[in-house]
Structure 1
Amino acid sequence: MGSRALRKFTAFELLIITMMAALGIAVKSVVVPLAQMITGPLYIPGGVVAGGFYMLWIVLGYGLVNKAGTATLISIIQALLVIAVGFFGNQGAVSLITYITPGVFVDILYLIIRGGPNSPMRAFAGGVVANIAGTLMVSLLLFRLPLIPLLLSLTAASLSGGFGGLIAYKLIIQLEKFSIINNGKL
């Protein structure tokens, strides 16, 4: 995204986008180790189950800003944060792919269905798409999981991601209720 693409966002929207990216990374650092205790014996990466809890920030960010490109921008910032700070192991440059893909897919989904997470079903779908995209990229590029664990991972990712999308939707509703946002728009 060049500076031209960023011009469609206000300074406040860019602040929200940056906050959503940072919150996603912060939550990930706490939730993934907890999930790994449960998923490790099943040969399912912990991020698959925990993904719903940090992919929700991508869906929530899109719901708050309500502009195409929001999810991609959140995920680009997350990828750059992870690389700059050195979080989460030795993925290195692969982090660019594994972190950016979920945001791109969320933006594509909301472009296709012509609207953001303004209903439980749309928010659920956004969470599912984000977590499946991230899980698939990590599974193919880093873990090279056999078919059965891959299918288990993708199933768990869809449920976890959908749950995260529903949490994002509920947060949007609460923010509207308290007049912090108006119809999904800051």
Structure 2
Amino acid sequence: MNRFLSKFSMFELIIIAMMAALGIATKPVVVPLAHIITGPLYIPGGAIAGGFYMMWIVLGAGLVGKRGTATLIAFVQAIMIIVTGVYGTHGVLSVATYTLPGFMVDILLLVMRSKGNSLSDCFLAGITANMSGTFLSNLVFFRLPLIPLILSLSSAALSGGLGGVIAFNIIKRFRKLNLMGIEGQGDGACE
């Protein structure tokens, strides 16, 4: 573990911790608002809200630009949830349900050979994070029938993609301000 963490600078570890904390802080605000829309449709609120709290995983991966960043952000979130007991009663299962979306983002970026700082990277990473989190939560907790599951995954893809677009726009702003030395990274989509 120490060898894995040594590839990150102290500044990058602070970014990772901040993204994890912001993801946890956003969830209790966004989920009740999403329940207003999803409740009558029998869709878990996290499917819609997830795009906006998974956005922090995508944003962290794009800002840091190193392999394993998304997994580390998600794992830190899981540890924070277990230690504080702030959100949910999933207990030790939180390690799996919180870490999988970050792991899937890292797998996607590895397959795409990308650092997660272009519009397409962030869009697909947001979709991947939210759909994997929604699917695993359904598998472990909800066990929805097929049609509501498909509707839930479709809405998860939509909100995850939107969260990815928001993350990309934040990364783009950081690039324009030349903060964190990320100017010029990516595919030039910001110019």
1:44 aligned residue: 43
2:183 aligned residue: 182
Give the drift of 1:117: 2.3
In structure 2, C-alpha distance between the alignment counterparts of 1:183 and 1:87, rounded to whole Å: 39
Over aligned residues, Cα RMSD in angstroms?
Answer: 1.1
- 5 Å matches for 1:1-186? 2-180=1-179, 181-184=182-185
For structure 1, the 5+ residue unaligned runs are none
Q: Deviations over 1:47-93 (max 9, x none)?
A: 10011101111111011100000000000000001111112221111
In structure 2, C-alpha distance between the alignment counterparts of 1:89 and 1:175, rounded to whole Å: 33
1:52–1:160: 8 Å Cα contact kept in structure 2?
yes
Give the drift of 1:4: 1.0
In structure 2, C-alpha distance between the alignment counterparts of 1:176 and 1:46, rounded to whole Å: 33
Structure 1 runs of 4+ aligned residues shifted over 3 Å read none
Output the TM-score relative to the length of structure 2: 0.94
Output the TM-score relative to the length of structure 1: 0.96
In structure 2, C-alpha distance between the alignment counterparts of 1:184 and 1:103, rounded to whole Å: 21
For structure 2, the 5+ residue unaligned runs are 187-191
In structure 2, C-alpha distance between the alignment counterparts of 1:183 and 1:107, rounded to whole Å: 21
| SS of 1:88 mapped into structure 2 | coil
Question: Matched residues, percent identical?
Answer: 57
Paired residue total: 184
